[in-house]
Amino acid sequence: MSMGKVRYKRIEDLPGVGPATAKKLRELGFSTVESIAMASVKELAAAGIGEKRAQEIINAARSAIALTFISAEELVKMQQNVERLTTGSKALDRLLGGGLETQSITEFYGEFGSGKSQICMQLCVNVQLPRERGGLEGGALYIDTEHTFRTERIIQMAKHVGLDPKEVVKNIIYAEAFTSDHQMFLLDHADEVIKEHNIRLIIIDSLTAHFRSEYVGREALAERQQKLSKHLHKLIRLARAFNAVAVVTNQVMAKPDVFFGDAVAPIGGHIVAHTSHTRIYLRKAKGQIRIARLVSSPYLPEGEAIFKITENGIEDVAEEEAAKVRRR
Protein backbone atom coordinates (compact mmCIF):
# COMPACT_ATOMS: atom_id res chain seq x y z
CA MET A 1 0.00 0.00 0.00
CA SER A 2 1.53 3.30 -0.94
CA MET A 3 -0.40 5.16 1.73
CA GLY A 4 1.12 6.67 4.82
CA LYS A 5 4.75 7.34 5.55
CA VAL A 6 7.06 4.34 5.39
CA ARG A 7 9.57 4.89 8.17
CA TYR A 8 10.94 1.37 8.08
CA LYS A 9 12.44 0.38 4.79
CA ARG A 10 13.77 -3.04 5.69
CA ILE A 11 12.51 -5.45 8.32
CA GLU A 12 15.73 -4.87 10.31
CA ASP A 13 14.62 -1.27 10.78
CA LEU A 14 11.59 -2.38 12.83
CA PRO A 15 12.07 -1.99 16.57
CA GLY A 16 12.64 -5.41 18.14
CA VAL A 17 14.01 -7.04 14.99
CA GLY A 18 17.72 -7.84 15.22
CA PRO A 19 19.78 -9.57 12.55
CA ALA A 20 19.04 -13.09 13.86
CA THR A 21 15.28 -12.45 14.04
CA ALA A 22 15.35 -10.86 10.60
CA LYS A 23 17.02 -13.98 9.21
CA LYS A 24 14.39 -16.24 10.77
CA LEU A 25 11.57 -14.02 9.55
CA ARG A 26 12.94 -14.14 6.02
CA GLU A 27 13.09 -17.93 6.20
CA LEU A 28 9.40 -17.90 7.10
CA GLY A 29 8.62 -15.69 4.14
CA PHE A 30 8.38 -12.34 5.90
CA SER A 31 10.93 -10.32 3.98
CA THR A 32 9.17 -6.99 3.77
CA VAL A 33 7.57 -4.57 6.23
CA GLU A 34 4.35 -4.97 4.22
CA SER A 35 4.14 -8.72 4.80
CA ILE A 36 4.80 -8.33 8.53
CA ALA A 37 2.01 -5.76 8.74
CA MET A 38 -0.33 -8.40 7.32
CA ALA A 39 0.92 -11.24 9.55
CA SER A 40 -0.71 -12.71 12.63
CA VAL A 41 1.01 -12.98 16.01
CA LYS A 42 1.01 -16.77 15.66
CA GLU A 43 2.81 -16.64 12.35
CA LEU A 44 5.61 -14.47 13.72
CA ALA A 45 5.81 -16.53 16.89
CA ALA A 46 6.96 -19.38 14.65
CA ALA A 47 10.24 -17.46 14.29
CA GLY A 48 10.85 -18.00 17.99
CA ILE A 49 9.58 -14.55 18.91
CA GLY A 50 7.49 -14.21 22.06
CA GLU A 51 3.86 -13.27 21.44
CA LYS A 52 4.20 -9.88 23.09
CA ARG A 53 7.22 -8.93 21.00
CA ALA A 54 5.54 -10.33 17.88
CA GLN A 55 2.57 -8.04 18.47
CA GLU A 56 4.88 -5.02 18.93
CA ILE A 57 6.71 -5.78 15.70
CA ILE A 58 3.43 -6.17 13.82
CA ASN A 59 2.14 -2.90 15.29
CA ALA A 60 5.27 -1.06 14.22
CA ALA A 61 4.98 -2.47 10.72
CA ARG A 62 1.31 -1.51 10.60
CA SER A 63 1.96 2.02 11.74
CA ALA A 64 4.62 2.33 9.07
CA ILE A 65 2.22 1.50 6.28
CA ALA A 66 -0.87 3.07 7.85
CA LEU A 67 -2.95 -0.05 8.25
CA THR A 68 -4.24 0.60 11.76
CA PHE A 69 -6.99 3.12 12.33
CA ILE A 70 -7.88 5.07 9.28
CA SER A 71 -10.59 7.62 8.78
CA ALA A 72 -13.55 6.94 6.52
CA GLU A 73 -12.06 9.45 4.13
CA GLU A 74 -8.86 7.43 3.98
CA LEU A 75 -10.85 4.23 3.51
CA VAL A 76 -12.50 5.77 0.49
CA LYS A 77 -9.05 6.72 -0.78
CA MET A 78 -7.83 3.14 -0.30
CA GLN A 79 -10.82 1.82 -2.23
CA GLN A 80 -10.15 4.41 -4.89
CA ASN A 81 -6.71 2.87 -5.09
CA VAL A 82 -8.36 -0.20 -6.63
CA GLU A 83 -7.28 -0.31 -10.25
CA ARG A 84 -8.42 -2.41 -13.18
CA LEU A 85 -6.56 -4.54 -15.66
CA THR A 86 -7.83 -5.20 -19.18
CA THR A 87 -8.29 -8.75 -20.49
CA GLY A 88 -7.84 -7.63 -24.09
CA SER A 89 -11.54 -8.13 -24.82
CA LYS A 90 -13.88 -5.17 -24.31
CA ALA A 91 -16.83 -7.53 -23.87
CA LEU A 92 -15.05 -9.48 -21.15
CA ASP A 93 -13.86 -6.26 -19.49
CA ARG A 94 -17.45 -4.96 -19.45
CA LEU A 95 -18.67 -8.17 -17.81
CA LEU A 96 -16.06 -7.56 -15.10
CA GLY A 97 -17.09 -3.97 -14.56
CA GLY A 98 -14.12 -2.58 -16.48
CA GLY A 99 -11.47 -5.28 -16.09
CA LEU A 100 -9.91 -7.38 -13.32
CA GLU A 101 -9.70 -5.59 -9.98
CA THR A 102 -6.62 -5.15 -7.85
CA GLN A 103 -6.83 -6.15 -4.18
CA SER A 104 -9.09 -9.12 -4.89
CA ILE A 105 -8.98 -12.63 -6.35
CA THR A 106 -10.43 -13.53 -9.73
CA GLU A 107 -10.95 -17.23 -10.44
CA PHE A 108 -11.29 -18.59 -13.96
CA TYR A 109 -12.71 -22.10 -14.06
CA GLY A 110 -13.70 -24.36 -16.90
CA GLU A 111 -12.80 -27.56 -18.71
CA PHE A 112 -9.51 -28.25 -20.53
CA GLY A 113 -8.91 -25.94 -23.46
CA SER A 114 -11.49 -23.42 -22.29
CA GLY A 115 -8.83 -20.70 -22.28
CA LYS A 116 -7.80 -20.33 -18.63
CA SER A 117 -4.05 -20.37 -19.32
CA GLN A 118 -4.38 -18.24 -22.44
CA ILE A 119 -6.13 -15.54 -20.42
CA CYS A 120 -3.39 -15.75 -17.77
CA MET A 121 -0.64 -15.26 -20.35
CA GLN A 122 -2.52 -12.38 -21.96
CA LEU A 123 -2.85 -10.69 -18.56
CA CYS A 124 0.94 -11.02 -18.05
CA VAL A 125 1.38 -8.91 -21.18
CA ASN A 126 -1.47 -6.49 -20.53
CA VAL A 127 -0.36 -5.64 -16.98
CA GLN A 128 2.71 -4.04 -18.55
CA LEU A 129 0.69 -1.67 -20.71
CA PRO A 130 0.36 1.99 -19.78
CA ARG A 131 -2.68 2.86 -17.66
CA GLU A 132 -4.44 4.66 -20.51
CA ARG A 133 -4.46 1.34 -22.37
CA GLY A 134 -5.82 -0.67 -19.46
CA GLY A 135 -2.52 -1.80 -17.95
CA LEU A 136 -0.95 -1.24 -14.55
CA GLU A 137 2.60 -0.45 -15.69
CA GLY A 138 3.93 -3.32 -13.62
CA GLY A 139 5.25 -6.84 -13.83
CA ALA A 140 3.68 -10.28 -13.37
CA LEU A 141 4.41 -13.27 -11.19
CA TYR A 142 3.36 -16.59 -12.73
CA ILE A 143 3.18 -19.68 -10.55
CA ASP A 144 2.77 -22.55 -12.97
CA THR A 145 1.82 -26.03 -11.79
CA GLU A 146 1.22 -27.74 -15.12
CA HIS A 147 4.12 -26.56 -17.21
CA THR A 148 1.86 -24.63 -19.56
CA PHE A 149 3.55 -21.23 -19.65
CA ARG A 150 5.02 -20.54 -23.10
CA THR A 151 7.46 -17.70 -23.70
CA GLU A 152 6.86 -17.87 -27.47
CA ARG A 153 3.17 -17.23 -26.87
CA ILE A 154 4.00 -14.21 -24.69
CA ILE A 155 6.24 -12.84 -27.46
CA GLN A 156 3.41 -13.25 -29.98
CA MET A 157 0.96 -11.41 -27.72
CA ALA A 158 3.46 -8.68 -26.83
CA LYS A 159 4.17 -7.95 -30.51
CA HIS A 160 0.47 -7.65 -31.18
CA VAL A 161 -0.03 -4.94 -28.54
CA GLY A 162 3.13 -3.15 -29.68
CA LEU A 163 5.31 -3.79 -26.64
CA ASP A 164 8.97 -4.79 -26.87
CA PRO A 165 8.83 -8.59 -26.46
CA LYS A 166 12.26 -8.69 -24.78
CA GLU A 167 11.12 -6.22 -22.11
CA VAL A 168 7.81 -7.99 -21.63
CA VAL A 169 9.49 -11.34 -21.03
CA LYS A 170 11.91 -9.73 -18.56
CA ASN A 171 9.04 -8.39 -16.47
CA ILE A 172 7.40 -11.77 -15.95
CA ILE A 173 8.75 -13.68 -12.99
CA TYR A 174 8.12 -17.36 -13.54
CA ALA A 175 8.08 -20.12 -10.94
CA GLU A 176 7.16 -23.74 -11.45
CA ALA A 177 5.52 -25.45 -8.46
CA PHE A 178 6.21 -29.17 -8.20
CA THR A 179 3.87 -30.08 -5.35
CA SER A 180 1.12 -28.36 -3.40
CA ASP A 181 3.55 -27.73 -0.54
CA HIS A 182 6.04 -26.21 -2.95
CA GLN A 183 3.27 -24.08 -4.44
CA MET A 184 2.40 -22.75 -0.98
CA PHE A 185 6.07 -22.22 -0.20
CA LEU A 186 6.55 -20.16 -3.36
CA LEU A 187 3.67 -17.84 -2.52
CA ASP A 188 4.69 -17.62 1.14
CA HIS A 189 8.09 -16.35 0.01
CA ALA A 190 6.95 -14.14 -2.84
CA ASP A 191 6.72 -10.79 -1.11
CA GLU A 192 10.28 -9.63 -1.75
CA VAL A 193 10.16 -10.57 -5.42
CA ILE A 194 6.82 -8.77 -5.72
CA LYS A 195 8.22 -5.61 -4.21
CA GLU A 196 11.50 -5.69 -6.09
CA HIS A 197 9.95 -6.19 -9.52
CA ASN A 198 6.93 -3.96 -9.07
CA ILE A 199 4.67 -6.98 -9.57
CA ARG A 200 1.05 -5.94 -10.04
CA LEU A 201 -0.35 -9.30 -11.19
CA ILE A 202 -0.04 -12.62 -9.32
CA ILE A 203 -1.16 -15.77 -11.15
CA ILE A 204 -1.55 -19.32 -9.87
CA ASP A 205 -2.24 -21.63 -12.82
CA SER A 206 -3.61 -24.04 -11.69
CA LEU A 207 -4.58 -23.35 -8.11
CA THR A 208 -6.07 -26.78 -7.56
CA ALA A 209 -4.29 -29.40 -9.73
CA HIS A 210 -1.64 -30.45 -7.18
CA PHE A 211 -4.09 -30.35 -4.29
CA ARG A 212 -6.46 -32.62 -6.16
CA SER A 213 -3.90 -35.22 -7.07
CA GLU A 214 -2.30 -35.26 -3.62
CA TYR A 215 -5.33 -35.14 -1.35
CA VAL A 216 -7.48 -37.97 -2.60
CA GLY A 217 -10.59 -39.37 -0.98
CA ARG A 218 -13.06 -38.18 1.59
CA GLU A 219 -10.67 -38.37 4.53
CA ALA A 220 -8.30 -35.91 2.86
CA LEU A 221 -10.96 -33.41 1.89
CA ALA A 222 -10.99 -31.35 5.09
CA GLU A 223 -7.22 -31.01 5.15
CA ARG A 224 -7.12 -30.06 1.49
CA GLN A 225 -9.75 -27.37 1.86
CA GLN A 226 -7.98 -26.04 4.93
CA LYS A 227 -4.68 -25.76 3.06
CA LEU A 228 -6.35 -24.19 0.03
CA SER A 229 -8.03 -21.69 2.27
CA LYS A 230 -4.72 -20.75 3.87
CA HIS A 231 -3.14 -20.43 0.43
CA LEU A 232 -5.93 -18.13 -0.79
CA HIS A 233 -5.65 -16.11 2.38
CA LYS A 234 -1.97 -15.51 1.71
CA LEU A 235 -2.82 -14.54 -1.86
CA ILE A 236 -5.42 -11.97 -0.87
CA ARG A 237 -3.07 -10.43 1.66
CA LEU A 238 -0.37 -10.02 -1.00
CA ALA A 239 -2.91 -8.56 -3.43
CA ARG A 240 -3.97 -5.99 -0.82
CA ALA A 241 -0.47 -5.15 0.36
CA PHE A 242 0.84 -4.52 -3.14
CA ASN A 243 -2.37 -3.35 -4.81
CA ALA A 244 -2.06 -6.25 -7.24
CA VAL A 245 -4.51 -8.29 -9.31
CA ALA A 246 -4.66 -11.95 -8.19
CA VAL A 247 -5.78 -14.65 -10.64
CA VAL A 248 -6.27 -18.36 -10.03
CA THR A 249 -7.44 -21.10 -12.37
CA ASN A 250 -9.40 -24.22 -11.59
CA GLN A 251 -10.19 -27.05 -13.99
CA VAL A 252 -13.67 -28.55 -13.93
CA MET A 253 -15.22 -31.23 -16.09
CA ALA A 254 -18.17 -30.42 -18.32
CA LYS A 255 -21.09 -32.75 -17.65
CA PRO A 256 -22.78 -33.48 -20.97
CA ASP A 257 -25.43 -35.71 -19.37
CA VAL A 258 -27.04 -32.82 -17.55
CA PHE A 259 -29.92 -31.47 -19.61
CA PHE A 260 -30.76 -28.30 -17.78
CA GLY A 261 -28.35 -25.43 -17.51
CA ASP A 262 -24.68 -25.99 -18.12
CA ALA A 263 -23.76 -27.81 -14.98
CA VAL A 264 -20.11 -28.50 -14.39
CA ALA A 265 -18.73 -31.04 -12.01
CA PRO A 266 -15.74 -29.75 -10.09
CA ILE A 267 -13.29 -32.64 -10.12
CA GLY A 268 -12.55 -32.23 -6.45
CA GLY A 269 -15.26 -29.96 -5.13
CA HIS A 270 -15.35 -26.20 -5.33
CA ILE A 271 -12.59 -24.22 -3.76
CA VAL A 272 -13.31 -22.31 -0.62
CA ALA A 273 -15.27 -19.22 -1.55
CA HIS A 274 -13.65 -16.03 -0.42
CA THR A 275 -15.24 -12.70 0.33
CA SER A 276 -13.30 -10.78 -2.26
CA HIS A 277 -13.54 -13.34 -4.93
CA THR A 278 -14.90 -13.06 -8.46
CA ARG A 279 -15.63 -16.32 -10.28
CA ILE A 280 -15.82 -16.71 -14.05
CA TYR A 281 -16.89 -19.91 -15.73
CA LEU A 282 -15.38 -20.41 -19.19
CA ARG A 283 -16.82 -22.72 -21.80
CA LYS A 284 -15.97 -23.55 -25.39
CA ALA A 285 -18.18 -22.52 -28.26
CA LYS A 286 -17.39 -23.07 -31.96
CA GLY A 287 -13.71 -22.94 -32.99
CA GLN A 288 -11.83 -20.09 -31.37
CA ILE A 289 -14.90 -18.72 -29.62
CA ARG A 290 -15.31 -18.92 -25.84
CA ILE A 291 -18.13 -17.89 -23.52
CA ALA A 292 -17.39 -16.39 -20.14
CA ARG A 293 -20.07 -16.37 -17.46
CA LEU A 294 -19.71 -14.21 -14.39
CA VAL A 295 -20.93 -16.63 -11.74
CA SER A 296 -20.27 -14.71 -8.59
CA SER A 297 -18.89 -11.35 -7.67
CA PRO A 298 -18.97 -9.26 -4.49
CA TYR A 299 -21.20 -6.72 -6.26
CA LEU A 300 -21.48 -7.21 -10.05
CA PRO A 301 -24.57 -8.77 -11.64
CA GLU A 302 -24.35 -12.18 -13.34
CA GLY A 303 -23.91 -12.15 -17.07
CA GLU A 304 -22.08 -13.52 -20.08
CA ALA A 305 -19.50 -12.29 -22.54
CA ILE A 306 -18.25 -13.78 -25.79
CA PHE A 307 -14.60 -13.57 -26.84
CA LYS A 308 -12.11 -15.52 -28.94
CA ILE A 309 -8.59 -16.88 -28.71
CA THR A 310 -6.56 -16.10 -31.85
CA GLU A 311 -2.92 -15.84 -32.89
CA ASN A 312 -3.00 -12.35 -31.39
CA GLY A 313 -4.31 -13.53 -28.03
CA ILE A 314 -7.62 -12.72 -26.33
CA GLU A 315 -9.82 -10.67 -28.65
CA ASP A 316 -13.35 -9.48 -29.19
CA VAL A 317 -15.72 -11.21 -31.56
CA ALA A 318 -17.47 -9.21 -34.28
CA GLU A 319 -21.05 -8.35 -33.25
CA GLU A 320 -22.76 -10.47 -35.98
CA GLU A 321 -20.72 -13.48 -34.94
CA ALA A 322 -21.49 -12.93 -31.25
CA ALA A 323 -25.20 -12.65 -32.01
CA LYS A 324 -25.03 -16.01 -33.79
CA VAL A 325 -23.44 -17.62 -30.72
CA ARG A 326 -26.08 -16.08 -28.45
CA ARG A 327 -28.93 -17.41 -30.60
CA ARG A 328 -27.59 -20.95 -30.43
Count of residues in contact with ligand GTP, rule CB under 6 A: 15
Q: How far is CA 318 from CA 104, 315, 322, in A?
A: 31, 10, 6
The interface partner of residue 311, options being Mg ion, ligand GTP, none and the CB cut-off 5 to 8 Å by kind, is ligand GTP
- Is residue 117 a contact residue for ligand GTP (CB under 6 A)? yes
The minimum distance between CB 91 and ligand GTP, in angstroms, equals 17
How deeply is 112 buried, as exposed, middle or buried, from its count of CB atoms within 10 A (0-12, 13-18, 19+)?
exposed
Q: What's the rounded Cα separation, in Å, for the pair 155 and 120?
A: 14
- Is residue 311 a contact residue for ligand GTP (CB under 6 A)? yes
When the beta carbons of 83 and 107 are compared against ligand GTP, the nearer one is 107
- Interface residue with ligand GTP among 31, 102, 106, 118 (CB under 6 A) is 118
Residue list 86-105, contact with ligand GTP (CB under 6 A): none
The minimum distance between CB 155 and ligand GTP, in angstroms, equals 11
Q: Binding segment for ligand GTP among 28-36, 50-58, 113-121, 240-248 (CB under 6 A)? A: 113-121
Q: Binding segment for ligand GTP among 11-19, 56-64, 190-198, 308-316 (CB under 6 A)? A: 308-316
Q: What's the rounded Cα separation, in Å, for the pair 86 and 131?
A: 10
Q: Binding segment for ligand GTP among 6-14, 98-106, 255-263, 304-312 (CB under 6 A)? A: 304-312
| DSSP reduced 3-state for 316 | strand
Q: Which residues contact 54 (CB under 8 A, 6 or more apart)?
A: 41, 44, 45
- Is residue 115 a contact residue for ligand GTP (CB under 6 A)? yes
DSSP 228-294: HHHHHHHHHHHHHHTT-EEEEEEEEEE-TT--SS--EEETT-PPPP-TTEEEEEEEE-STTEEEEEE
Q: At what angle do helices 151-161 and 116-126 cross, to 10 degrees?
A: 50
Q: What's the rounded Cα separation, in Å, for the pair 162 and 160?
A: 5
| DSSP reduced 3-state for 21 | helix
Q: How many other CB atoms sit within 10 Å of the CB of residue 182?
A: 15
The minimum distance between CB 147 and Mg ion, in angstroms, equals 10
The minimum distance between CB 106 and ligand GTP, in angstroms, equals 14
- Interface residue with ligand GTP among 86, 128, 243, 251 (CB under 6 A) is 251
The minimum distance between CB 300 and ligand GTP, in angstroms, equals 22
Q: What's the rounded Cα separation, in Å, for the pair 82 and 209?
A: 30
- Is residue 114 a contact residue for ligand GTP (CB under 6 A)? yes
The minimum distance between CB 284 and ligand GTP, in angstroms, equals 8
When the beta carbons of 60 and 119 are compared against Mg ion, the nearer one is 119
- Is residue 265 a contact residue for ligand GTP (CB under 6 A)? no
The distance in angstroms from the start CA to the end CA of the chain is 46
Residues in contact with ligand GTP by CB under 6 A are 110, 112-118, 146, 148, 153, 251, 309-311
